[in-house]
Structure 1
């Protein structure tokens, strides 16, 4: 049977995976050299005057069968990556590439082994955990007039909804170098990304050279969970962005993304039951 959403894991040989990685990496490096795109590169320590969007996410989660050392290592990885992105300015017409600005995560740069989700399996690897940062940036960007030109959805829904404050599928996964998050400034204003790793939370802000003109709300529609013929459960929805004036007058809506993911926990468990891969 056909899998229209591309959720079923396809087994490939190690050689094919390596060749595919090399091919798509080479294409990405060529793309970054493209003369037709102006990539953001300038950073400044002074914040722009106006706040456009702000968000924070908790740094530590207890994951079943995953040692907490990888969570602490993730915090270190976030500090290193934030040091490459914090303060960057996105001028009109410029594009911000998440991976071009951060670079390849290596031990020599201070990265440690963190948790990586690969084909539905939890493993450890250098720079693991940086998806938390791309998730944060993507969610904040949806509340600005910036244009998302590349975003990759998560293929697996890792955590149940307990404590979830955002709609399912509102993140952006990342894998170096071709699984990028790219944002373009199509406005006449300058935007600035501010990031900080606190004691308990990862903090982010989009700041701007002028005051915001609109208010944005992200909503989900068509949410459903379903059993798949090859086993397991999948989850689906669509995200839309509603635009309002600051006085609350609706101005319109925009389709953002359709999300499809395999669930890494059993749906519809009773209250207090333990979910696979997650401990409350």
Structure 2
């Protein structure tokens, strides 16, 4: 987990390499990606969640938050009402496409090697975080997800377990979701009253409920001086009578902390 110092040239070359590697994978892979939209909402909500779009963060100017909302609204148009049919895969970046100013994206806040900076389209991680979280409460299967390498903020007002998000970077840090069921799932997204709202909908009533939680949480001080946070994400599966069915492993997280571990 020790941060690796790389020159700006090395970072630029690496990003280009992985971007074109992903393009090649899209061409060669036989994955059937979701492409169909339906403006009519499917009848049953499987799970929904919302997160505030505007937050006052230490050392972060509010104009970055307002620009984030602009970027989110543009990206929503590419994802809202997408249908994942049985056997299809949702790809965050294949649907959104490349982030450019020509498409209306503006500078927003992004994390870069543990520091804040501005970049075109900054703030879209809030959208990938939300989609990942609501997906964990459905029978859909996350086939690609990348954890955040840095734990940015203390747990004040945290409503979800540490490590329950999904970072994104065009196009090689993708969020991909496979539909193994026999019914279609529809993603519904909207921004209202300074909240980003998302839900998965489908054609039949849900037959299971999911409780996502963390276990084996720990904080360690590494030999190179910084603190690293660890945990494992699981979920408990229940039927509609609240009868326990099973406990499922989801993922493991390790992140360098950008604050002191005892900070309130």
Q: What TM-score do you get using the length of structure 2 for normalisation?
A: 0.98
Is 1:85 equivalent to 2:85 in the alignment? no
Contact 2:129-2:167 at 8 Å conserved across structures: yes
Runs of 4+ residues over 4 Å off in structure 1? none
* 1:116-141 C-alpha deviation (Å, 9 max, x unpaired): 00100100000000000000000000
Question: For residues 100-249 of structure 1, what are the structure 2 equivalents within 5 Å?
Answer: 100-249=94-243
What is the deviation of 1:166? Answer: 0.5
Say which SS state the counterpart of residue 10 (structure 1) adopts. Answer: coil
Q: What TM-score do you get using the length of structure 1 for normalisation?
A: 0.92
**1:100 and 1:57 mapped to 2: Cα distance?**
24
Is 1:33 equivalent to 2:27 in the alignment? yes
**1:269 and 1:91 mapped to 2: Cα distance?**
46
What is the deviation of 1:269? Answer: 2.7
**Partner of residue 3, structure 1:** none
What is the deviation of 1:34? Answer: 3.3
What is the deviation of 1:16? Answer: 2.4
Question: For residues 256-271 of structure 1, what are the structure 2 equivalents within 5 Å?
Answer: 256-270=250-264
What RMSD over aligned residues (CA atoms) do the two structures have, in Å?
1.0
Q: Which of these residues, 52, 59, 62, is aligned with residue 56 of structure 2?
A: 62
Say which SS state the counterpart of residue 172 (structure 1) adopts. Answer: coil
**Partner of residue 275, structure 1:** none
What is the deviation of 1:44? Answer: 1.3
Q: When the two structures are aligned, how many residues end up with a matched partner? A: 264
What is the deviation of 1:35? Answer: 5.1
Runs of 5+ in structure 1 lacking a partner? 1-6, 271-280
